[in-house]
Amino acid sequence: MSQGPKTKSENEWRAILTPEQFRILRQKGTERAGTGEYEKFKGEGIYSCAGCGTPLYKSATKFDSGCGWPAFFDAIPGAVTRTPDHSGGYTRTEITCTACGGHLGHVFSGEGFKTPTDERHCVNSISIKFGDEKASA
């Protein structure tokens, strides 16, 4: 009987993720600003969790925030879990994949972006994988 994504051991995650994916998805790391493959990417499709493949974001919700990471104003309903994060000496909201618990980044509200939600989901490129809409349909 195979284990679900949330019940994988650290060694099982290490076996299926690259070292950098493991550092970010499982150890809550962050890629350097401006280095991610999806920061300026404009394709139409679905962004899924790089750990478990669960669809997380639609390209229609991606926008250019200038923050150095891919930014989305909303997630696919139920795909992302929000948790208060008190690391770094201040409070922010961590976002993780609901299916596997993989760290995606953080969500910020009230920054004044002209988006329907006034939110910025600041996501590590290494935490997500893009698939075009034809492949996702």
Domain boundaries, the chain: 7-136
Query: What is the CATH topology of the domain spanning 7-136?
Result: 2.170.150
Catalytic residues: 122
Q: Among 95, 106, 92, 102, which residue's Cα sits nearest to residue 129? A: 102
How far apart are the C-alpha atoms of 50 and 118, rounded to whole Å?
26
Q: How far is CA 59 from the centre of its chain?
A: 13
**Structure-block tokens of residue 79:** 């795909």
Please give the chain's pLDDT, 137 residues, in tens: 344 567 799 999 999 999 999 999 999 999 999 999 999 999 999 999 999 999 999 999 999 999 999 999 999 999 999 999 988 788 899 999 999 999 999 999 999 999 999 999 999 999 999 998 654 44
